[in-house]
Structure 1
Amino acid sequence: MEPAIIVIALVCGFICNRLGLPSLLGYLAAGFVLYSLGMADTHLPLLQQLADLGVLLLLFAIGLKLDIRSLAKAQVWGGASAHVLLSVTLFVPFLKVLGWLGLSQLQALDTWQLLLLSFALSFSSTVFAVKTLEEKGEMASLYGQIAIGVLIMQDVFAVIFLTVSKGEFPSYWALALLALPLLRPLFSMALDKVGRGDVLVLFGLAMALVFGAALFEMVGLKPDLGALIMGIMLANHKRASELAKSLFELKELLLVAFFLTVGLNGLPSLQDFSLALLLLLLLPVKMAMFFVLFTRFSLRARTGLLAALSLTNFSEFGLIVAAVASFKGWLPAQFVVVLAIALSISFLIAAPLNTHSERIYQTWQSFWHRFQKSHLSVVDQPINLGSPRFLILGMGRIGSGAYDELVTRYGNCVVGIDHKPDIIDLHREQGRNVILGDAVDTDFWHKIDPSAGIEMVLLAMPHHQGNLFALGQLNHSAYKGQVSAIVQFEEEVEELKELGVAAVYNVFEAAGAGFAEQIAYELMPEPQTQYSTDGKNNPL
């Protein structure tokens, strides 16, 4: 590969990073620079192959983190389906008006071609949304999960279109893929046995590219769908997160090639550039439709807005749809370049919108709340903690042991939080007061009030980064009580103490009861009274 490609991509990415912009915008700019230098013909094919691999690994990583039940939510399948229909309904008249106003590219299109173009414009970028959510650390948030779910539904729509566009149905052997779930125990066993480092990376590549993409392509289905489904099959494995992390750097590097290829598709004529700019007028319409649909499905205004902003862009899949339509002769070839430019500029617009999404919500909060329904969906209702003295984030072995010890010492004034429904059910069967919530989800912190009478928060989540995130949220809230946390490694102790954690406990020293004992002796006075089971400070 030409060294200039690496240098130009590095310089452009570095400049954007220093300006506080997402580095992907620099890679887009690098693509246009490379095209201007005449590198498209010689290097586009190789970069396109690398970009395709990046997209496959991205979809595999999404599958690893996806709860398949989230696709069954009405906000996801209903929102995605309604948005596509509304987009086509509204975009076709808009494009017709532009044609009547004198845009020659659109004047020559008939209604069928306008429908195709509108369909391509209705998609949002999976690559951009995932990159943005990962950079913000909000992949696990409710709005992030809803946005990803909608994108996956859109990808399914694109796969259906691409399959139909071939003029042939998948092979009869595609029915054999229905037996893939039967192989799930075998894949899980292999993941249990495979080591770490390069072997784990190769295992991930084999699952995504061979058993996923290549297998699906052999039977006439889109390889992207295969990579996604293979990720979903491993999503509940205990090492799924470790596997995703092992592929992270490789996936990020390959996605650089994706953004370079967008710019390498060509520079438009003045007329094409003008049309691309006019197509950007559809972005506020897309955002408004998503926001209204999400709030109609009983999501909070904040959830609906942040999810809508994540989807306010044009899509690489829309570009693929246009390219296939152009190859079939259904759309003029110039529209691929027009959509590539519109896609690139939509990323430039969407990046700051998503960076400042919380500020956008807070600044016009009263306006957004006009659209919020009085009765909210179960998944997005405020969380009522009651009046506990202790809040435990993470109800695994350590958190459970600490819960029981604190209840023994101070009475029933403890509330536990965990993000796994099956764990919640188990704790409730055993009589513990445990609430469903995800402490690494920013939405969770907007649904609770940790300052209301809580004296201590125990960070008992198994991952250090999760505890750090929760600590950051506490430090930015009105909470004034004490915080204690668990660690697995000594080097994590000082980091937590510098951030204000009063007591840090090594999980390998003892069980959860030891955690609670340390809290009792180091931070809390011995109880002078035994507290009643209603959580109030009344002597029995």
Structure 2
Amino acid sequence: MEYVFLLFAFVCGLTVKLIGIPPLVGYLVAGFLLNFAGYSLTDDLTQIANLGITIMLFTIGLKLNIRDLSRREVWAGSVTHTLLWVGIITCLVYGLATIAASLTNKLSWQSAALIAFALSFSSTVCVVKVLEESGETKTRHGRLAIGILVMQDVFAVIFLVAATGKLPSVWALALLALFPAMPIINKMINKSGHGELLPLTGFILALGGYQLFELVNIKGDLGALIFGIMLAQHEKSSELAKSLLSFKDLFLIGFFLTIGLTALPDLSMVMLAIVFCLFIPLKAALFFGLFTSLRLRGRTSYLSSLVLSNYSEFGLIVGALAVSLGLLENNWLVVIALSVSVSFVFTSVLYRNSHSQYHSYKGIIRRFEKPKRLKEDIYPTLHNAEFLVLGMGRVGRGAFNALSKLAEVNVWGMDADRMKVKELVEEGLSVICGDGEDVDLWYNLDIKHVRLVLLALPSIQDSINITSQLKNAGYSGKIAAIARYEDEVAYLLENGVDKVFNFFNEAGLGFAEESLAYANEQH
């Protein structure tokens, strides 16, 4: 039966992708259609969904710098937003329930507050998926959004402990033994190589963290996240996260299906869910106001607020617990589930054009900026750069090194990962930190001497967006990009890129040329 569910999810995901909508919207639709057709949620599908969430939280931890959580904009923004949101939405939900008494039973202030708290979370699954698809997990707004999500996850765990009275076991102190065990775990990752053992190692660590925390009465998902954070500084953390990417996406299909299969709403529930979704712009406005008041740039505030403008799977967990404790009626859980589903669609569709939206309304958005900038938001400078490499991964670093060997050529690099940039600068390389899709960055950089921009990025959509931003900023030089597949080459050329290199073809050509040159030297 699970095969039928996944097959139908594939059909719906492919269908919506063909009309330009993210596949996860199709997975959600598939869940509701299967529910409507009389199918129900199975234990196996629930396990698949839970596994997807566990792996996802582990990979988030692998990419998370713990210092990001200590930043004022993260902890102050998340705490303040939750308090303001719960206060405002409690009043609105209580008033709505009073007015619409014919559609719903009488609601107490306590129940209204629980609903507001359930809706205060933003979806870790949806946000991370959207950021990964757009290649923005390491950008300033991406790191801010993920930091907020982690803080909200902590709030959820605290609530679950307080509501159930399920305190951690005294054996939870034994988890401190993980710190002296880290050298052994790190050695195990190193010995796993680069093949099929690496993702298996990731599974063992993620599920091991989950089970260890469950054994001491702490939510297992938190254990997977903490295991990932502890391994984030490992040299293979990025490779480990990439090796789990396809598995995580596959298992998360089960999660999206479970939302639709949870319950089938009636007309009154649909109407209430639509009203709840009308609160989403308020959620975004609160985030935006808080971020700008904390001196973040308008663009960072706007993009972070937009991607966080949804409801969360944690809201379902909170709602389910409230129902089991008799604090909330079951129909409200269905309303929350439907609201979560619709909010995913809202974020997935709207964020696709977020950069062009900012470009259109940046004059209005930047009015809310504070005159004094945070240190991370001060624009970098380029000194007479002639070549600029965007994306300092393995391909970008190789291009940078090759160009640097040319005589009398000034080569600079740029990457959105601040920690990577710091390491490269310490090596003595001319590298700046920046998000190539930030049109404000290009307006503030001196690029008049740049003859060629090399886009060494894995996502062709990112390359197209950056090409557009460069031309909007008046750049008149040449732009080159890499592609992995032949159909991507034509697509990039159609969208303004001057030269496209097929990654695999060019790698083979370079290998042949260098091997031939070496062979000739031997003779």
Question: Which residue of the other structure, out of 149, 168, 187, is the alignment partner of 2:147?
Answer: 149
CA contact (8 A) 2:98 2:107 kept: no
Q: Does 1:78 align with 2:76?
A: yes
Alpha carbons of structure 1 residues 495 and 286: separation in structure 2 relative to 1, 3 Å: same
**Structure with the greater alpha carbon radius of gyration:** 1
1:455 pairs, out of 447, 450, 454, with: 450
Residue aligned with 1:409, SS: coil
Q: Provide closer, same or farther for how the CA distance between residues 486 and 118 of structure 1 changes in structure 2, counting only shifts above 3 A.
A: closer
CA RMSD of aligned residues (A): 3.4
User: 1:296–1:403: structure 2 CA closer, same or farther, 3 Å change rule?
Assistant: farther
Give 1:318's match in structure 2, choosing from 311, 315, 320.
315
Paired residue type of 1:238: E
Q: With structure 1 as the length reference, what TM-score do the two structures score?
A: 0.82
**Aligned pair in 2 of structure 1 residues 382, 425: CA closer, same or farther (>3 Å)?**
closer
Distance change (3 Å), C-alpha of 1:37 and 1:280: same
Query: Following the alignment from structure 2 to structure 1, what is the Cα–Cα distance between the partners of residues 38 and 21?
Result: 27
Amino acid in the other structure paired with 2:299: R
1:203-235 Cα offsets, whole Å, 9 max, x none, are: 11100012x100010011011101111111222
With over 3 angstroms needed to count, the CA separation of the structure-2 counterparts of 1:38 and 1:477, relative to structure 1, is: same
| Deviations 1:509-540, CA, capped at 9 Å, x for gaps | 89xxx9xxxxxxxxxxxxxxxxxxxxxxxxxx
The alpha-carbon deviation at position 401 of structure 1 amounts to 5.5
- Separation in 2 of the partners of 1:326 and 1:236? 41
Decide whether the 8 Å contact of 1:31 with 1:260 is kept in 2.
Answer: yes
User: What are the residue-to-residue correspondences of 1:296-445 with 2, within 5 Å?
Assistant: 296-391=293-388, 394=392, 409=408, 415-417=412-414, 434-438=430-434, 442-443=437-438
Query: 1:473 maps to which residue?
Result: 466
Q: Which residue is 1:528 aligned to? A: none
Give distance in 2, aligned partners of 1:456 and 1:170.
60
Q: CA offsets per residue over residues 34-62 of structure 1, 9 Å max, x none?
A: 1122211xx43221111111100111111
Structure 1 residues 162, 414: closer, same or farther in 2, change over 3 A? same
Alpha carbons of structure 1 residues 75 and 389: separation in structure 2 relative to 1, 3 Å = same
Residue 405 and residue 3 in structure 1: after superposition, are their counterparts in 2 closer, same or farther (change >3 A)?
closer
Please say if residues 79 and 290 of structure 1, whose CA atoms lie closer than 8 Å, have aligned partners that are also in contact.
yes
Task: Among all aligned residue pairs of Structure 1 and Structure 2, give the percentage whose two residues are the same amino acid.
Answer: 39
Q: 1:307 is aligned with what amino acid?
A: S
Structure 1 residues 438, 108: CA separation in 2 closer, same or farther (over 3 Å shift)?
same
Q: Contact (CA 8 Å) 1:117, 1:322: kept in 2 or not?
A: yes
For 1:379, give the aligned amino acid.
Answer: E
**Equivalents in 2 of 1:496, 1:271: separation in Å?**
46
Give the letter for the 2:292 counterpart. T
Quote how far apart the aligned CAs of 1:460 are: 9.6
Q: Is the 8 A contact 1:398 1:460 kept in 2?
A: no
Match of 2:33? 33
Deviations 1:170-206 (A, max 9, x none): 0111122233232222111111101343322221110
Task: Return the alpha-carbon distance in structure 2 between the equivalents of residues 395 and 355 of structure 1.
Answer: 24
Change (3 A) 1:108 1:403: same
Tell me the distance in 2 between the aligned counterparts of 1:347 and 1:87.
19
Q: Deviations over 1:461-512 (max 9, x none)?
A: 7xx638995687247513333567999x999xx99997535999979989xx
Q: Secondary structure at the match of 2:458?
A: helix
Task: Flag the 1:291–1:336 CA change in 2: closer, same or farther, 3 A.
Answer: same
AA of the residue aligned to 2:264: L
Residue in 1 aligned with 2:247?
250
- How far apart in 1 are the matches of 2:100 and 2:455? 64
**SS in structure 1 at match of 2:48:** helix
Q: Which amino acid aligns with 1:369?
A: R
- How big is the shift at 1:422? 6.9
Verify the 8 A CA contact 1:395 1:460 in the aligned structure 2: no
Aligned pairs (5 A) from 1:451-530: 452-457=447-452, 459=454, 465=458, 473-474=466-467, 477-478=470-471, 479-482=475-478, 500-501=498-499
Matching of residues 87-126 of structure 1 within 5 Å: 87-103=85-101, 108-126=106-124
With 229-238 and 501-510 compared, the bigger mean Cα shift is at: 501-510
Tell me the equivalent position of 2:521. Answer: none
Distance across 1 between alignment mates of 2:424 and 2:3: 58
More deviation in 279-288 or 472-481?
A: 472-481
Query: Unpaired runs of 5+ in structure 1?
Result: 515-540
Structure 1 CA distance for aligned equivalents of residues 310 and 460 of structure 2: 33
How far the C-alpha of 1:164 sits from its partner, in A, is 1.8
- 2:224 maps to 1:230: no
| Alpha carbons 2:134, 2:462 under 8 Å: kept | no
Structure 2 vs 1, CA of residues 371 and 239 (structure 1 numbering), >3 Å: closer, same or farther?
same
8 Å Cα contact 2:382/2:446 also seen in 1: no
| Aligned 8 A contact 2:437 2:465 in 1 | no
Deviation at 1:366, TM superposition (A): 2.0
Q: CA deviation at 1:88?
A: 0.8
Q: Tell me the alpha carbon deviations over residues 316-361 of structure 1, each in whole angstroms, 9 at most, x when there is no partner.
A: 0011100011111111121111101111112222222111212222
Is the 8 Å Cα contact of residues 147 and 307 (structure 1) preserved in structure 2? yes
Partner of 1:376: helix, strand, or coil? coil
Paired position in structure 2 for 1:524:
none
Q: Structure 1 residue 106: deviation in Å?
A: 6.0
What is the SS of the residue equivalent to 2:470? Answer: coil
How much has 1:155 moved relative to structure 2? 0.7
How many residue pairs get aligned? The number is 499
Note the residue ranges of structure 2 that are not aligned, 5 or more in a row.
515-523
- For 1:317 and 1:284, how far apart are their aligned partners in 2? 20
Q: Distance in 2 between matches of 1:423 and 1:263?
A: 40
**Alpha carbons of structure 1 residues 9 and 451: separation in structure 2 relative to 1, 3 Å:** same
- Conservation of the 8 A alpha-carbon contact between 2:453 and 2:479: yes
The amino acid that maps onto 1:37 is A
Relative to structure 1, the CA distance from residue 366 to residue 420 in structure 2 (aligned partners, 3 Å threshold; closer, same or farther) is: closer
**How many Å separate the matches in 2 of 1:266 and 1:60?**
29
**Aligned AA (1:447):** L
**Does the CA contact (< 8 Å) of 1:486 and 1:506 recur in 2?**
no
Using the TM superposition, give the Cα deviation of residue 92 of structure 1 relative to its aligned residue in structure 2, in angstroms.
Answer: 1.1
Give the Å deviation of 1:424: 5.9
Change in CA separation of 1:473 and 1:177 when aligned onto 2, cut-off 3 Å:
same
Q: 1:161 to 1:103 in 2, by over 3 A?
A: same
Residue 17 in structure 1 maps to residue 17 in structure 2: yes
Shift of 1:383: 2.4
Q: Matches of 1:147 and 1:91 in 2, distance apart?
A: 21
| Structure 1 residues 187 and 466: alpha-carbon distance in aligned structure 2, compared to 1, 3 A threshold | farther
* In structure 2, C-alpha distance between the alignment counterparts of 1:497 and 1:103, rounded to whole Å: 56
Preserved CA contact (<8 Å) 1:83 1:290: yes
Mapped to 2, the partners of 1:258 and 1:471 lie a distance apart of 31
Of 105-114 and 156-165, deviating more is 105-114
1:264 to partner: Cα distance: 0.7
Following the alignment from structure 2 to structure 1, what is the Cα–Cα distance between the partners of residues 342 and 491? 41
- The normalised TM-score by structure 2 is 0.85
